Every structure is written in structure tokens, then in C-alpha cells.
Amino acid sequence: MNSTMRVARLHAINQPMKIEELPVPEPRPTDVLVEVKACNIVPNLPNVLASYSEWFPQLPLPKLPATFGLDSTGVVAAVGSHVTDVAVGDRVYVNPGLSCGSCRACRRNQDQNCDSYTFMGYFSFGVNGQRLYDAYPYGGLGEYLTAPQRNLVKLPDTVSFEGGARFGYLGTGYSALRRAGVGPGSTVFINGISGTLGLGTCLSALAMGATRVFGTGRNTELLGEVRRIAPSRIHVVPATSADLRGWTREHNNGEGVDVVIDALGPEAPADAYLNALETLRRGGIAVNIGGMMEPLQLDMISVMTNQLTILGSAWFSTAEAQDMADLVGTGQLDLSILEHHTFPLEKINEALNDLPARHGGFTNFICVP
């Protein structure tokens, strides 16, 4: 193994990333060193970084220069002296969610509720995030990264590195469905079903045994492709439909759905979320995973009298990611519909500036360091 590695580092917002040589980090006693084989790329990453302080001032980015890259897969290249059950050569996905490990939430195995929760290679959920950035400074846009052993998900041999690098988007929807209790017999409505988050949520709902999955989207051709994944179980309608409540009940034996997953992005209108809530049955659960920013005017009397549950869900636990990986490994969670577009690390700036037209959630942009 070489003593140095290539990384793409961002030195200033709105500037190109620079390919640099840095020392390969040494794993600490309970850490591992992973040779990165694939890293998922958010298609609008430059716009996200440029607008982040405006969109989410409460979610700090790492101090620059920094190596970004959220969803990474690879091969364990070295292990710390106290690492157990992980060996050199293991194929892994690295859950980028870092927690302090000692607060009340962490002691309850609720890492996502840690006040210091931080995504290596992206952003933090609290003011103490820089401490975790300093401990794990490398995202997936480099040849190597270090991570805690507890953040590793072992990939079955049947799961490609490219498919595993989609786990962030997939796991976000998977965890939301688990929180809402989705299982055999459940009915689910997905706002934005043809997008990256929405399509992954749809695939997970099918794998978890949902009887019917309903969804909206803006592109009717994409909606048709989503429906063809499982035409007897998936029902779709354009997002402009005026009566989602009536439409879902027409296709669901006159009943509302058990669960609504809102996968629309930050710039989606509040009305889209409120319309989706109308599809719920009494006692139904709504989970937001897309981060819509526009303030809502909820009818709390309706929420109360209909016994609705409104949740937010961010990311997933490593245990959930391992369960999901095992579902993919057995074929129950089918990722064969994904279209992988790969490019080398040296082309990161060109790729981000000139990515092919995205085929909705079917497209998977991957950097291969």
C-alpha cells in the first residue's frame, strides 16, 4: 500500500475541487482504513454547497479545505489493534453518520439523536460537529478513508460496490418505513416516488411486504417506468392531481393509506405535503424525509381527531443498513433497475459540471477513485 493517497479537496465554496496527495491515514485502535471503490455523488452537489448556509444555517459544513463524499463502499485495507469481527479484505459500506458515543442518546443506541451527529464528508447536525470532522476528516472522494468499526456494513458478494454506494438514499427511506411499522399488508403513499429518495423508498416498501404503494411525480414517463416495476402493487398519478384523497381510496378498497412518506426536496411547496396527508386513514403515520423548507399550516384539530402521527426521519442506523444490505443480497430488495454512471476522481469537476441528464431516481452517479 502506498504511503500517500489522492483526494479531491474543496478549498472554497463556488471553486473547483483540487486533486491533491495526502498521507494515507493510520486507523486508531477501534477504527478501520477503507480503500474506497465507489462513492455516490449528489448530482447538484455544487449548488447544495453554494446554498447550504442559506438553506440550513443550523447544519454546519466542515472547515475548508475538506474532502467531501457521503456514501462510500470499498475494501478494508487495515484495522486498528482493538477491532473485532472486521478483517482486511472485507467488502463494506461505510455509514457516514458519526455520533459522540457517550451522551444519553448514544447510550440508548439512538445515534441519530446525538446532538453531535455528523456526516463525514458532508455536514453536521450540531455545533460540535467539527470535533468529529477532525477525527474522521475524509469523505469518499479520495482513495482511502478511516471510519469507526461500528459504522461498517458488510456487503454480501451479490451487492456491487456501485449498488452499495446508493445505500444513503435507500436507507433513508428504509428507516422511515421501519419507523412507521410498514410490513406485509401495509399500504404506503410516497410523495415524489420517481425521484432518488422516492424510488428507493418504493423499492424498500415492496421488499418489506407492502401490499400497495401509491405515488406522485412530475414526469409522467418516469411514473410509468416506476409502475412497471410491480404493476399489480404500484399505482401512480401526476403530482398535479387535484384529488389525491379520492384517488387513493378508489384504488385502495375505499380506505386511506397506512403511511405517507414525503420524499420531496427542500424547495417543494407545502401544499404538496398537505395534500399527501389527505390520503391517510385514521391512525395513519406521515414521515418527512425530504427536508421541505416551506413552513406548514397544519390543521391540528384534524391531526388530533384522526389520531395522525407526524414524524421527521433523518438517515438510518448501521443496524438498519446491515438489514437492508442483507435484503439486497437475497434479492428481496432489487437494485437491478439502477443505471450506474461512473467517472474517475480526476474528472470530479468536469463530471459535476456536465453530468448526463438524470433519469429520475433510476440514475446512480458514482465516482470511482
Which CATH number characterizes residue 240's domain? 3.40.50.720
Across the range 53-59, mean pLDDT stands at 71
Both 14 and 143 in a single domain?
yes
Both 85 and 230 in a single domain?
no
Mean pLDDT for all residues in the chain: 94
Across the range 50-54, mean pLDDT stands at 67
Q: Please tell me the predicted confidence (pLDDT) of residue 58.
A: 75
Does this model's pTM top 0.85? My answer is: yes
Distance CA 231, CA 319 (A): 31
Q: What residue has cell string 428481496?
A: 332
pLDDT(52) > 70: no
Interior angle at CA 100, CA 97 and CA 104, nearest 5: 110
Both 208 and 239 in a single domain?
yes
- List, for residues 246-292, the tens digit of each pLDDT value: 999 999 999 999 999 999 988 899 999 999 999 999 999 999 999 88
Both 10 and 60 in a single domain?
yes
**Beta strand 280-288 pairing with 309-312:** parallel
Tell me if 327 is assigned to some domain: no
Tell me if 321 is assigned to some domain: no
Greatest extent of the chain over all pairs of C-alpha atoms, in Å? 64
Distance CA 255, CA 248 (A): 8
pLDDT(317) > 80: yes
Both 38 and 110 in a single domain?
yes
Tell me if 219 is assigned to some domain: yes
pLDDT band at 332 (very low <50, low <70, confident <90, very high): very high
Both 230 and 132 in a single domain?
no
More confident call, 49 vs 139: 139
pLDDT(1) > 90: no
Both 185 and 294 in a single domain?
yes
Both 232 and 134 in a single domain?
no
Both 24 and 156 in a single domain?
yes
User: For residues 171-197, b (16+ Cβ closer than 10 Å) or e, as one string?
Assistant: bbbbbbbbbbebeeebbbbbbbbbbbb
Tell me if 47 is assigned to some domain: yes
- List, for residues 184-208, the tens digit of each pLDDT value: 999 999 999 999 999 999 999 999 9
Domain with 186 in it: 171-312
pLDDT(48) > 70: no
Distance CA 74, CA 90 (A): 8
* E strand or H helix that includes residue 39: strand 31-40
Distance CA 37, CA 39 (A): 7
Distance CA 96, CA 281 (A): 35
Both 160 and 50 in a single domain?
yes
Tell me if 229 is assigned to some domain: yes
Across the range 135-154, mean pLDDT stands at 97
Among 297, 312, 327, give the residue marking a domain's end: 312
Concatenated DSSP letters of 310-352: EEE--S--HHHHHHHHHHHHHTSS--TT-EEEEEEGGGHHHHH
Both 194 and 155 in a single domain?
no
Is residue 286 a contact partner of residue 276, using CB atoms and an 8 Å limit?
Answer: yes
DSSP-assigned beta bridge partners for residue 281: none
Both 72 and 50 in a single domain?
yes
Say which CATH number the domain at 94 has: 3.90.180.10
pLDDT band at 44 (very low <50, low <70, confident <90, very high): low
pLDDT band at 99 (very low <50, low <70, confident <90, very high): very high
Tell me if 333 is assigned to some domain: no
Report CA Rg, the chain.
20
Domain count, the chain: 2
